[in-house]
Amino acid sequence: MKDLRFQIALVGLNRERAYAQYKASTTYTFAISDGPARTHADVIFPDETFELIEGKGKSAKTAAKLALERLLVGGCDPFEDQIFIQISYRQAEFFSKYGNFLQRFPSV
């Protein structure tokens, strides 16, 4: 993976319960900084993906940070675009098995 020029820090975790037609989810919010410039990104796990990762003994927090890093290294400018990443079930299965997103797998 190329060098990441941004600093990334977890600043929030929000677990939402299922309500009416809305599914449960977990959202990790990360602060992204490049010198004095700061912004944030959200990585969202529908409940079934969060449970799959954690149930296999892996860290959803680690998966969230790796997915964000992969997007940033791929050229996304967090100061130009607002970042919301939703981890799909297929991506969660892959992470649960390999512990990363670096194998031959579609973009996160």
| pLDDT per 10-residue tile (average), the chain, 108 residues | 78 88 89 94 93 92 93 90 92 87 53
Domain extent for 48: 7-98
Domain count of the fold of the chain: 1
Residue 1 lies inside a defined structural domain of this protein? no
d(CA 98, CA 87): 15
Residue 56 lies inside a defined structural domain of this protein? yes
Predicted pLDDT at 17: 84
Any residues with CB less than 8 A from the CB of 36 and at least 6 apart, and which?
none
Predicted pLDDT at 102: 64
Residue 12 lies inside a defined structural domain of this protein? yes
Residue 83 lies inside a defined structural domain of this protein? yes
Residue 58 lies inside a defined structural domain of this protein? yes
Predicted pLDDT at 84: 95
Residue 106 lies inside a defined structural domain of this protein? no
- Mapping DSSP to helix (H, G, I), strand (E, B) and coil, where does residue 66 land? helix
